[in-house]
Structure 1
Amino acid sequence: MGAVMDRRAFLATMAGAAGAAGLVSCHQASGKPAALIHPRRTALAGEAWADADVVVYGATPAGVIAAVSAANLGASAVLIGGWREIQPGGMLAGGLSWTDIRDIDAVGGYARTTMATLAASGGMPGNRYAFDPAVAAPYFRDLLDAAGVPVLWSDGVETVDRTDRAIREIITRSGVRAHGRIFIDASYEGDLMARAGISTRVGREAADRANPYNGYRGSRYELLTRTDPPQKDNILPIDPFADQPSGRLIAGVDAAPNRPVGAADDGVQAYCFRLTMTDRPELRLDLPATAPDGYREADYELLFRDFDRRRRAGQLYGRDWHFARDLVKADEVAPGIYDINNRGTMSLDAVGLNRAYPAADYDARERIWKAHENYIRGWFHAMAHGRDPRIPAGLQRDVRNWGLVRGRHTDCHPADTPGWSPQLYVREARRLDNGLAWSGRDVSDIDGVPPRLPSIVAMASYWQDSHAASRIAVRDERGQWGIVNEGHFMLPAGGKYQRSPLPFELMVPHRDQCTNLMVPFCVAATHQAFSTIRMEPTSMALGEAAGTAAALAVIDRDRVDIQDVDTYRLQQMIVANGGVIQGVTNWELLQRKLKHRLDRLRG
């Protein structure tokens, strides 16, 4: 954390080292002292009111980093907790502790420091990707405290006061008011953006040449494995009908829609909880032996039919398939502690249950949130305590040996129970619609192809990875009925170096709609491209870019619309803090600097 906390001193002394490379530090360009761009103003004036240069909504990792970045550059900043948040850190504090990244060196700055510090504070020795989720919230609290960023917790933004295309104030449902000059919506849902009247998208755009995996996928299932070419079809040979004469489908399976493959729809990636679990008795907090509210064993008929399919294929539980390998993805993030994620035919993803979530009001969202929890609790209960004869006895013993982890996720929402993850894994909700539509082509172009825009401020480094959006009954080529987890694809992105460039414009609304808002998570990307960008290290890198841009926008001499932030100077500051912008070297920044000056002279 010291590398981050020393940033002001670093920027103050970078002029000499940067001068040889053609770089200009922030204080040189502004003519102001290096330590502060302008004097810090008091951020809070009462328990439920805040006035700051930069107001960040959403205590996600991107939100924390955005607020800290702005504050460490001298802007006054305040962080307003989003709906249902009770601690900083979002998914990283909520159980996503097996880091979703291919090349850890694709991120730098605050994001890299965060991942390194979390792994060193409580993880698996030698693993730069994993950490005990218990260390995340304290780390983010320390980061905010050290930067002097106050936090006000809320229960969701209710009203946005906007004048002449600029947000002036936000008011939360609990009456917290925050007035600011620049606003950053770092929430997973994009609520501030939506309530400000900014154009957004929900769902999957139609497939096109730049986004061939957009839209309704039918039985098309693109999955890259290490040894096989991409699979093209995802029909599971499981009877989808509860009653053949009536055509009634089993629970959790819908009829296939009457639309062509590639057509636009409102589907979003399935949600789950990334649970922190263990099979060590001394660490284990047992799941209840009683069924959750609304439990019906028939709701898990698909799971039982999958077990029976394996048996009829000659696959024996304990020899050919296992709970912790085939029914969940269990990654050890600290000794005896695992990050549990979705895997298999019917796992933690509550496929289709989230369809209304992105645009739902808060009360409806609470019901959807709890429905996800009850689905997963019921899924465990069905395997551990269900009476269906198709459940292998060995599986029941194994599932009962797994539980939540003592001492984890104890700081919980009043509606939750200790041990359960406090953050629903909202993989995709609203996305900014500013006309950019950063595409699948943009995140997967071959190496050496210049990006569509030169204003790159961060790099993504992950597969194009979309979870299922629906579960449907379909016929195969022989007319046999089966089941498809529709919408899943996992394909390469970023070329040889596994890095996808992300421009500043990805976060910025159209000028005609708003001039002082940035959105580092719900960005202006297509469904396909967002499947790469949505990972937490990437959103933290975008959060740093947003916080740095916010500080630039409120410099006294350069008070500008956010669309007019000097992206050349922004890139300088990101690189100076160790940020990674692939292909943008110091020499190339010097070239941009010279072109930048020539353009100003000509202008």
Structure 2
Amino acid sequence: MKPNCLRTVFLILLASVSAFAEAGEPATSDVVIYGATPAGIAAALTAAGGECSVLLIEPTARIGGMTTHGLSHSDFHSFESLHGPFLKFSQRVLKHYETTYGKDSEQVRDCWRGTHGEPSVNLLIFQQMLAEKPSIRILTEHRLTRVTVEDHLITTLTFSLPNGGSVAITPRIVIDASYEGDLLAAAGVPYGVGREARSEYGESLAPEKFDTQLQGYNFRLCMTQEPKNRVPVPVPKNYDRDDYATLVPLVREGKFRSAFGYPGSPFVLKAHLPALPNDKRDINDVSKGLVRLSLPGHNLKYPDGDLATRRRIEQEHLDWQLGLIHFVQTDPALPEEFRKEAATWGLCGDEFTETDHIPPQIYVREARRMVGLRVYTEADTEYAPNDARSRLHPDSIAVGEYSHNCHGTDHEGPMIGGRHTGEFYKGVAPYQIPYGVMVPKKMRNLLVPTACSASHVGFCAIRLEPIWMSLGGAAGHAAHMTLEANIPVQQVDIEALQKRIWSYGGATIHVSDVPPGHPDFAAVQWWAGLGGLHGLEPAPAKPGTRGQHIVSQYFEAFPGHAAKLDQPLDDALTKRWTALVRELNLPVPVDPTTRGDWIREVFATTRLAVEATDSKQGKRTRTSHPAGEEKLALQLLGVSDEQVERFDAARKAGLLEWAPVHLPTHPPGDCNHYGWPVATMSGDTIVVMHRRIPGHRAKGAGKPHPKMSYGVVLRSDDSGKSWSEPYDLRDCMKPEDRDRGGIVPLSHRAKFDKGNQSPLGYKVHLHAIGTARDGAVIA
């Protein structure tokens, strides 16, 4: 796309919705999210963390994506891996069941720590979480029809209305959280559909040659055997028993003992275990089965299809599933006992009441995949050499721990009795996902957490809702940061983004024994992300080895992924960690005795202000340590022990809050700041000013002048948890004062706001002290 040219791209989708405003001047919003999938909801919740206005737009009538459309059997393997948005959501689901039925109830037991909510409960929790954020506005039944792009910037989004009209919205940042990648395609962002050739990325699971095959779809019906809540399964209008007749000899040969079941006994339809609360089950496709719900090959026109094409494909899949259930329940050629057992199952009468108890959303496992800054492939999940951990990604913003999981991309032989091809299930260790998979190469204000940048094989390790929620949450954080700093999405400071993710309880690397809410969570995430926890355990004899099996797809913690903070340091590890901190130009800890002591001491010299969310109690807990421990910082500041005691007494009385500050080293700040204590009123904004000297790199705000030093200011609205990009104070000086050098006098400082136009002054809470990269102390 050429610069400075206006391009409008049309997406051919029919209208089906209501709107909040008709034609005229476009509505505006800081962040516009298309697709109220779990990823979209997570993005909205994190983007709304500040004062950003957020529009969450859903093309259908029901928010929540597959999590509210029947996929209640959440795809993860160990509870120790849960973090961030999905963990917060599941904790809210658990609390709902505890409040409604009692902590010792069967419903609490069956919700599986909140990860197995009924579709209606999942919907309720999402609605409640969004309602708690007044800056979020939700628009359902708004279908995208047009995207206007100018100079690699999305300037206008247009949505169809049910009355034939349209509404236009002007966004600052856009997040495409749709399963299909409709917005990115309409914006002209490059994408792919199909399977790459094995030679393109060297993937063992890829086909020999490129093809257009696509992973199969199916509906996730919610069914029950509870007579009081059981509704008969409707018979499709085009039902033909001949479509299913080849099942009869397979049943009589003993290939199937029941219509519904779970691996361990032969069955036709998978009724997931554990069961959901209130005697409900999530019905799914049977991997490598002789009878399948998914229909690969029948969905090839879905990703780029218009609404009519998609509806036709969805109806074909639904008719196949409902027809199969009707056949196993009623066909006289089947054994009577087989039919009787099948007839004990029905749709849930209290679910999907608006759509005849059938979820309206089909399970789109894979559609378009953006071609972005970073293409995620099979290699990204491979084990690091001789290591229990997977390959290290320092730019990680999310964690996955499922597997490369593909339900098949084609079918050979009869529909019943044949087999899917292109199917694979490859176990791997927990893996990191880098920021670049969400970022287009050129579009400056778009992030894509769901239809993200990955090969077919790589995407099959990402496409699970807990992982998508982590990516969505990271996208919301990144959107907030781009607005705050007024930068394109490609220039987001990854270290600052990671810090923000940790402060909200999100993980960027898997550490099984240091969960969100742990006092050392942020410190361990930081150290592990640098490679500090790699090399502690050898690779398992069998790739993909998990912990002890619990039930179904759930296991105890992955072996080899614990930090073991209380374990004494040995000489070999001390030597390796010493080399790492020296490489990072950090001070070597003095006589630490345990792994935890080492990590805490090193971390204390860097990011002392990171906060982690205590998910269990709903509180924020600081990962910092008493200011008296920060000896170098106190020496530089000249703070006496008596002063520290006075500050600490005020803190204990609730009058002040310690806000140990560390400015990021790249790109803001451009110097390695030591931590120092700042006493502020709890929750205060902290404005930090420091001096740049000749030779500082030109990143951040403004460019350094070769013959002068100058002042920059940074702002934190969360008591030092996160920081803005640096602002060059020369930009708000009078012309005659601009090049005078040194720290800008207070009389020439402008109010620190996004416009930087106000003549009013502001209070500088602290004058920063640290060391420049050339080793000089600056004041």
Provide TM-score, normalisation by structure 2: 0.59
Aligned to 2:459: 530
Aligned to 2:35: 58
Residue by residue, what CA displacement relative to the aligned partner does 1:335-372 show, whole Å, maximum 9, x if unpaired?
Answer: 31111111122232233221211111111111111111
Q: Contact (CA 8 Å) 2:370, 2:440: kept in 1 or not?
A: yes
5 Å matches for 1:232-311? 262-288=208-234, 291-308=235-252, 311=253
Is 1:408 paired with 2:351?
Answer: yes
Residue by residue, what CA displacement relative to the aligned partner does 1:558-602 show, whole Å, maximum 9, x if unpaired?
Answer: 100111111111100000111111176344584994465359933
Residues 316 and 298 of structure 1, relative CA distance in 2, 3 Å threshold:
closer
Aligned to 2:472: 543
Give the C-alpha shift of residue 396 in structure 1.
Answer: 1.4
| Of 422, 429, 432, the match for 1:487 | 422
Residue by residue, what CA displacement relative to the aligned partner does 1:207-250 show, whole Å, maximum 9, x if unpaired?
Answer: 246421123xxxxxxxxxxxxxxxxxxxxxxxxxxxxxxxxxxx
Q: How many residue pairs align between the two structures?
A: 481
Q: Contact (CA 8 Å) 2:348, 2:357: kept in 1 or not?
A: yes
Q: Contact (CA 8 Å) 2:147, 2:157: kept in 1 or not?
A: yes
SS at match of 2:196: coil
Corresponding letter in the other structure for 1:531: C
Residues 450 and 105 of structure 1, relative CA distance in 2, 3 Å threshold:
closer
Residues 369 and 316 of structure 1, relative CA distance in 2, 3 Å threshold:
closer
Corresponding letter in the other structure for 1:294: N
| Of 73, 76, 90, the match for 2:50 | 73
Residue by residue, what CA displacement relative to the aligned partner does 1:145-201 show, whole Å, maximum 9, x if unpaired?
Answer: 111211112352110011111001111232132210100000010000101011011
Residues 266 and 210 of structure 1, relative CA distance in 2, 3 Å threshold:
same
| Of 192, 196, 201, the match for 2:187 | 196
5 Å matches for 1:106-117? 106-117=81-92
Distance (whole Å) between structure 1 residues aligned to residue 53 and residue 41 of structure 2: 14
Residues 365 and 346 of structure 1, relative CA distance in 2, 3 Å threshold:
same
Is 1:376 paired with 2:321?
Answer: yes
Distance (whole Å) between structure 2 residues aligned to residue 133 and residue 433 of structure 1: 33
Corresponding letter in the other structure for 1:492: G
Aligned to 1:14: none
SS at match of 2:284: strand
Q: Contact (CA 8 Å) 1:552, 1:565: kept in 2 or not?
A: yes
Which segment drifts farther, 202-211 or 368-377? 202-211
Is 1:437 paired with 2:366?
Answer: no
| Of 428, 445, 459, the match for 2:399 | 459
| Of 118, 121, 128, the match for 2:96 | 121
Aligned to 1:253: none
Distance (whole Å) between structure 2 residues aligned to residue 113 and residue 177 of structure 1: 33
Q: Contact (CA 8 Å) 1:317, 1:395: kept in 2 or not?
A: no
Structure possessing the higher radius of gyration over alpha carbons: 2
Identity percentage over the alignment?
A: 31
Give the C-alpha shift of residue 119 in structure 1.
Answer: 3.7
Distance (whole Å) between structure 1 residues aligned to residue 185 and residue 20 of structure 2: 27
Corresponding letter in the other structure for 1:428: E
Give the C-alpha shift of residue 448 in structure 1.
Answer: 6.4
Larger relative contact order, structure 1 or 2 (CA cutoff 8 Å, min sep 6): 1
Give the C-alpha shift of residue 263 in structure 1.
Answer: 1.9
Aligned to 1:258: none
Give the C-alpha shift of residue 264 in structure 1.
Answer: 1.6
Richer in helix (by share): 1
Distance (whole Å) between structure 2 residues aligned to residue 125 and residue 448 of structure 1: 33
Which segment drifts farther, 113-122 or 145-154? 113-122
Distance (whole Å) between structure 2 residues aligned to residue 53 and residue 346 of structure 1: 48
Which segment drifts farther, 353-362 or 53-62? 353-362
| Of 101, 118, 123, the match for 1:137 | 123
Corresponding letter in the other structure for 2:398: A
Distance (whole Å) between structure 2 residues aligned to residue 409 and residue 322 of structure 1: 23
| Of 269, 290, 297, the match for 1:328 | 269
Residue by residue, what CA displacement relative to the aligned partner does 1:40-85 show, whole Å, maximum 9, x if unpaired?
Answer: xxxx984676311100000101111111211122211111112xx2
CA RMSD of aligned residues (A): 2.4
| Of 498, 501, 505, the match for 2:432 | 501
SS at match of 2:304: coil
Which consecutive residues of structure 1, in runs of 5 or more, have no partner in the other structure?
Answer: 1-43, 216-261, 475-481
Residues 137 and 50 of structure 1, relative CA distance in 2, 3 Å threshold:
farther
SS at match of 2:413: strand
SS at match of 2:171: strand
Distance (whole Å) between structure 2 residues aligned to residue 376 and residue 177 of structure 1: 39
5 Å matches for 1:350-361? 350-361=295-306
Q: Contact (CA 8 Å) 2:290, 2:418: kept in 1 or not?
A: no
Is 1:472 paired with 2:412?
Answer: yes
Residue by residue, what CA displacement relative to the aligned partner does 1:513-539 show, whole Å, maximum 9, x if unpaired?
Answer: x11101111111111111111111111
5 Å matches for 1:313-352? 315=254, 318=257, 323-325=260-262, 326-331=267-272, 332-343=275-286, 344-352=289-297
Corresponding letter in the other structure for 2:314: W
Give the C-alpha shift of residue 124 in structure 1.
Answer: 4.6
Is 1:156 paired with 2:143?
Answer: yes
SS at match of 1:187: coil
Residue by residue, what CA displacement relative to the aligned partner does 1:103-156 show, whole Å, maximum 9, x if unpaired?
Answer: 233232222110222244245517223111111112111122111211112352
Aligned to 1:426: 364
SS at match of 2:281: strand
SS at match of 1:282: helix
Distance (whole Å) between structure 2 residues aligned to residue 118 and residue 380 of structure 1: 30
Is 1:568 paired with 2:495?
Answer: yes
Residue by residue, what CA displacement relative to the aligned partner does 1:400-425 show, whole Å, maximum 9, x if unpaired?
Answer: 11101111112x4xxxx321012110
Corresponding letter in the other structure for 2:296: V
Aligned to 1:26: none
Residues 145 and 47 of structure 1, relative CA distance in 2, 3 Å threshold:
farther
| Of 518, 542, 545, the match for 2:447 | 518
Q: Contact (CA 8 Å) 1:124, 1:333: kept in 2 or not?
A: no
| Of 50, 62, 66, the match for 1:87 | 62
| Of 383, 386, 403, the match for 2:331 | 386
Provide TM-score, normalisation by structure 1: 0.75
Distance (whole Å) between structure 1 residues aligned to residue 247 and residue 297 of structure 2: 16
5 Å matches for 1:8-27? none
